[in-house]
Amino acid sequence: MALQAKITYEYLLNRSLRKVITSKAVGRIGKDRILEILLSISKRIPSISELNKTLDINWSGQFALDAFFPKLKGKTMAVLLCSDFASLDLVGYLIADLENYYSWRDFLLLITPELIKQNITKFFVTDGKRGLHQALRELFPNIPTQLCISHKQRRINQIVPRVRGDGYDKLFSRLAHQAVRAPLKEIFKVYFDILVEFQKSDEHQSYPQARQEKLKKIIGALRFQKNKLHTRYFHPDLITDPTTNHLEGINGFLKERLNLMRGLKKEENAEPLIKLLIYYYRFHKFTSLKFKERNGKAPVELNQLNNQQLLDKILKGKEPYSWLR
Q: Report the CATH number that the domain containing residue 60 is assigned in CATH.
A: 3.30.420.10
Q: Which of 229, 256, 276 is the last residue of a domain?
A: 229
Assess whether 9 and 122 both reside in one domain. yes
- Phi and psi torsions of 61, nearest 5°: 90, 0
> Three-class SS of residue 68?
strand
Residue predicted with more confidence, 24 or 235: 235
Assess whether 248 and 116 both reside in one domain. yes
Assess whether 124 and 266 both reside in one domain. yes
Classify residue 172 as left (phi > 0), alpha (psi -120 to 50) or beta.
Answer: alpha
Mean pLDDT of the chain: 88
**177-212 pLDDT, tens digit each:** 999 999 999 999 999 999 999 999 999 899 889 888
Strand pairing class (145-147; 123-126): parallel
How many domains in the chain? Answer: 2
Span of 4-8, 120-124, 217-221, 304-308 with lowest mean pLDDT: 4-8
Assess whether 275 and 301 both reside in one domain. yes
Assess whether 256 and 134 both reside in one domain. yes
List the one residue out of 281, 262, 265 whose CA is nearest residue 19.
Answer: 262
* pLDDT above 70 (res 295): yes
Across the range 15-42, mean pLDDT stands at 78
Q: Which of 198, 229, 260 is the last residue of a domain?
A: 229
> Three-class SS of residue 215?
helix
Assess whether 132 and 156 both reside in one domain. no
Q: Which of 229, 263, 295 is the last residue of a domain?
A: 229
Residue 44 lies in a domain: yes
Which domain range does residue 218 map to?
A: 150-229
Residue predicted with more confidence, 34 or 149: 149
Span of 105-109, 206-210, 299-303 with lowest mean pLDDT: 206-210
